[in-house]
Chains A and B, each alone.
Chain A
């Protein structure tokens, strides 16, 4: 009884977004569950999650730690597979994909920005970005990608020689160099100080606004809700609310 009621609520909100006629749906989650079983214990990291994300949107997934937001992001990025439900990307169901198809999906469509950057430590900034040419045709020129994030100068430094902000910008350059349809960011400012964080945030917002990329960002910082087109709040493995923001703030105006 309880479950059913909750689902109805959510459906209502989603319909609200789908009603906008000029937007094309990029991603759709239908009753997606992710559960972990350990002996008799079943733990739901995500339970009956349904949502849609439109192309070109800046989406912020908000929630306290352990709420399931990272799980959501991993499923979006094809980095994990759902236990049940359907995930549609451009109309194709990711849950039916095998390993190789998922890999190809990640290579062609998804760019990821990690909280701890996850650059290859033995490759320079330039090489980290250039690495993308190994997995996808038609990637942007690494120099341009790095210039776009303001890193023309430190291109040939190794990650260990760069500051956190520089590393994160390299990471973003690496993610966007693939020209992915979907840019996923996992707490991209989590390891950065406020000012640097703001710069990174601005960069991401620009990707969405100017380059019309779909950017999905996971964070526990509720201030970021202000800059998103859509805010998805997650709690205890379920989706609490999906709110459309008509007039998102500019990243430089956010304070935390």
Chain B
């Protein structure tokens, strides 16, 4: 019979229980969904790295012999070493696609994952191509693939279509961040294929450490030992964290985790608070029934079990359904967007122990709340519980004693008292509004910040309308002529590695010639001129390296063995590229020759310019903006999830609260009606309190939303240095949206004032 009672009670209080169900479901959906997505991504990558033996340490340098391989192998902890020549070239037949080419004479480390064809064989003449590149360019097995390296052409038959664990993410320099596989590819060949194998100079050693030494600390130790063993200035020993492919995906996953968990935790907290309040109130409303059951002779344990099972049943149902739904929906959707950016097989969501733990904890908390509120009602003997609860002791607050109080009108007085006497309910209402507006502000703010970043990037920091990207074929004279024709500004963008103490970071160096298209801003985002006497570094990079203005930094251009030790004379902020910037004169003072990689111009560029061998591509500002926005797509989709969920949560929490307070106020409202208050007047009184709570909630919500956005913008990624921006429309949408949700919900209830039957509501206290 008690089970029957439970189901009927659930049915009768369906609004409250459905809210609890929805709150726990939504909370879990977002939490488990995002966690499963990021954990699944990380797990798939780990499995891939392990299976195909991603190298633990890379050594780059001007040339490595077999002696060097032996030197490295002798270091304790090193399991195996392979040497490679890793260079770039172009595939003319495929629209001058930018090619990463690796020559190697064995493939036990960074093993190629085969899709089609035959496995890599160093004895075999031929080339192994990356799957996306091959696929996008319709290259089939058996085709002849030609690639040009420094004007030498190599022709090879395509033997296999592959992916490589050390290239889960690769982009050409001009693509910025979002991969374009039509124009950038990856090729592996046997060393035998190199035009002059006997004079081949290997520039990379890849090192696999022993499985029992593959933790971070041991890797650091091995890295130091390797540096000592070689004792050469012209090499760089790096681990996975400095590897572009590994680090980019790792950062992406961590970004999701950080952002997702932050949202999810806020979400879960609000949901739990809602569950707590609702459960406590539902149990309290059953006080007389609990008393009756006790009087009839039900034992405490039986009654407790009965009520605890409400909280348990509903929250368990909600949490489990939410968890499963989250696992089934979010990971495939978000990970689906990874495809195309990251070349990792078997990307799928993964439920972690943490998910299970959080589900269990949420269920326990909800159950505990029903246990505690039930316990409270069971504390007294049935004679007491059978009666309605003694009215709360109320004292006059200081305000009520002051003169000001007398000046307030009745509705204000009534509402102040009501709020003071139902603190928990009021706080819950504020929290619901707060959560809703906070998630809205933060969500829309993410859009604003990304847009602001794009506008800043292509409008404030780079003001040219077009960017002509030069190919490797273009020499300085060509660039100079082109620049003169278009009244352009020549710039050179190149990858560099920085070292400061034990910290190593990859970044970029931008060298600018005379012109007016590149601008920089200081840490307060005020425009400043680039220092004429030395190099400037982005403040984010300086922060990562632990440096400040005036300090010295060690750096070298990737592919160049010459290390520089230079003073940082200026700090500037760049939202998307971290590294250093300098004028051409400074660059040349360091004895580099200036080789422009692109030309910035405001003049329009004819479409046929791209046909010239020396020109790789022409990007107009709209393209660049679009390309950049595309890289933010995954983040945006997460924001959609949050915004939708925020509104749903707001509606559920506030609706639920509306039901609770309406039920609790029925008698008071009926009394007011009997006294002759018009329904519309009563409605205004109720509405007033709602507006107060909403305004307070929104104020806190906007503030915490900004805080959350600030954290997201500044901490989620190593390369992005976003400025939190909240636009006016965002404020309007967030405030308006929250008000709409809150007012709509309240309107529904205050509309019920008319329907309250005075006689019925005031009938005997049961």
Binding site for B on A (CB under 8 A): 70-71, 74, 77, 79-81, 99-100, 103-108, 110, 112, 114, 116, 118, 120-123, 127, 130-136, 174, 178, 191
Give A174 to B298 CA distance when docked, in angstroms: 14
Contacting pair B2 A103 (CB below 8 A): no
Assess A80 versus B292: contact at CB under 8 Å? Given A103-B299, A107-B297, A134-B1. no
Give A99 to B299 CA distance when docked, in angstroms: 9
Contacting pair B386 A114 (CB below 8 A): yes
Contacting pair A135 B1 (CB below 8 A): no
Q: Give the residues in chain B near A107, CB-CB below 8 Å.
A: 296-299
Assess A122 versus B297: contact at CB under 8 Å? Given A80-B383, A116-B764, A134-B2. no
B300 an interface residue at 8 Å Cβ cutoff? yes
Q: Give the residues in chain A near B288, CB-CB below 8 Å.
A: 118
- List residues of B (288-311) whose CB comes within 8 Å of A's CBs: 288-289, 291-300, 302
Give A107 to B293 CA distance when docked, in angstroms: 10
Contacting pair B766 A135 (CB below 8 A): no
Contacting pair A108 B297 (CB below 8 A): yes
Contacting pair A127 B299 (CB below 8 A): no
Partner of A122, one of B12, B384, B386, B766: B12
Shortest A126–chain B CB gap in Å is 10
Assess A81 versus B297: contact at CB under 8 Å? Given A114-B386, A122-B5. no
Contacting pair A104 B764 (CB below 8 A): no
B4 an interface residue at 8 Å Cβ cutoff? yes
Partner of B295, one of A77, A132, A178: A77
- Contacts A121-B12, A127-B4, A131-B1 given; 15 further ones with Cβ under 8 A? A74-B383, A80-B382, A100-B300, A103-B297, A104-B299, A106-B294, A106-B382, A107-B297, A118-B766, A122-B8, A122-B12, A123-B5, A123-B8, A127-B5, A178-B297
Give A120 to B300 CA distance when docked, in angstroms: 17
Shortest A44–chain B CB gap in Å is 16
Give how many A-B residue pairs fall within 8 Å (CB-CB). Answer: 91
Q: Which of A103, A132, A135 has the most CB of B within 10 A?
A: A103
Q: Give the residues in chain A near B386, CB-CB below 8 Å.
A: 79, 114, 118
Give A143 to B9 CA distance when docked, in angstroms: 24
Give A106 to B386 CA distance when docked, in angstroms: 15
Give A133 to B2 CA distance when docked, in angstroms: 11
B381 an interface residue at 8 Å Cβ cutoff? yes
**B303: nearest residue on chain A (CB-CB)?**
A103
Give A127 to B2 CA distance when docked, in angstroms: 9
Q: Give the residues in chain A near B1, CB-CB below 8 Å.
A: 123, 127, 130-131, 133-134
Shortest B485–chain A CB gap in Å is 86
Q: Give the residues in chain A near B383, CB-CB below 8 Å.
A: 70-71, 74, 79-80
Contacting pair B297 A80 (CB below 8 A): no
**B9: nearest residue on chain A (CB-CB)?**
A122
Shortest B307–chain A CB gap in Å is 13
Partner of A103, one of B8, B289, B300, B766: B300
Give A108 to B291 CA distance when docked, in angstroms: 17
**B297: nearest residue on chain A (CB-CB)?**
A107
Q: Give the residues in chain B near A116, CB-CB below 8 Å.
A: 764, 766
Shortest A49–chain B CB gap in Å is 15
Partner of B4, one of A114, A123, A132: A123
Give A80 to B383 CA distance when docked, in angstroms: 6
Contacting pair A112 B295 (CB below 8 A): yes
Contacting pair A106 B764 (CB below 8 A): no
**A102: nearest residue on chain B (CB-CB)?**
B381
**B292: nearest residue on chain A (CB-CB)?**
A118
Shortest B77–chain A CB gap in Å is 66
Shortest B381–chain A CB gap in Å is 5
List 25 contacting pairs A-B, 8 Å CB cutoff, sorted by A: A70-B383, A80-B384, A81-B381, A100-B299, A103-B294, A103-B298, A103-B300, A104-B297, A106-B294, A106-B295, A112-B296, A116-B766, A118-B291, A121-B12, A122-B8, A122-B11, A123-B1, A123-B5, A130-B1, A131-B1, A131-B5, A132-B296, A134-B298, A134-B302, A191-B764
Shortest A98–chain B CB gap in Å is 11
Partner of B297, one of A70, A106, A121, A127: A106
**A112: nearest residue on chain B (CB-CB)?**
B295
Contacting pair A131 B2 (CB below 8 A): yes
Contacting pair B297 A135 (CB below 8 A): yes
Give A120 to B294 CA distance when docked, in angstroms: 12
Q: Give the residues in chain B near A174, CB-CB below 8 Å.
A: 296
**A70: nearest residue on chain B (CB-CB)?**
B383
Give A134 to B289 CA distance when docked, in angstroms: 16
Q: Give the residues in chain A near B384, CB-CB below 8 Å.
A: 80
Q: Give the residues in chain A near B382, CB-CB below 8 Å.
A: 74, 79-80, 106
Give A81 to B380 CA distance when docked, in angstroms: 10
Q: Give the residues in chain A near B381, CB-CB below 8 Å.
A: 74, 79-81
Shortest B557–chain A CB gap in Å is 77
Give A191 to B8 CA distance when docked, in angstroms: 26
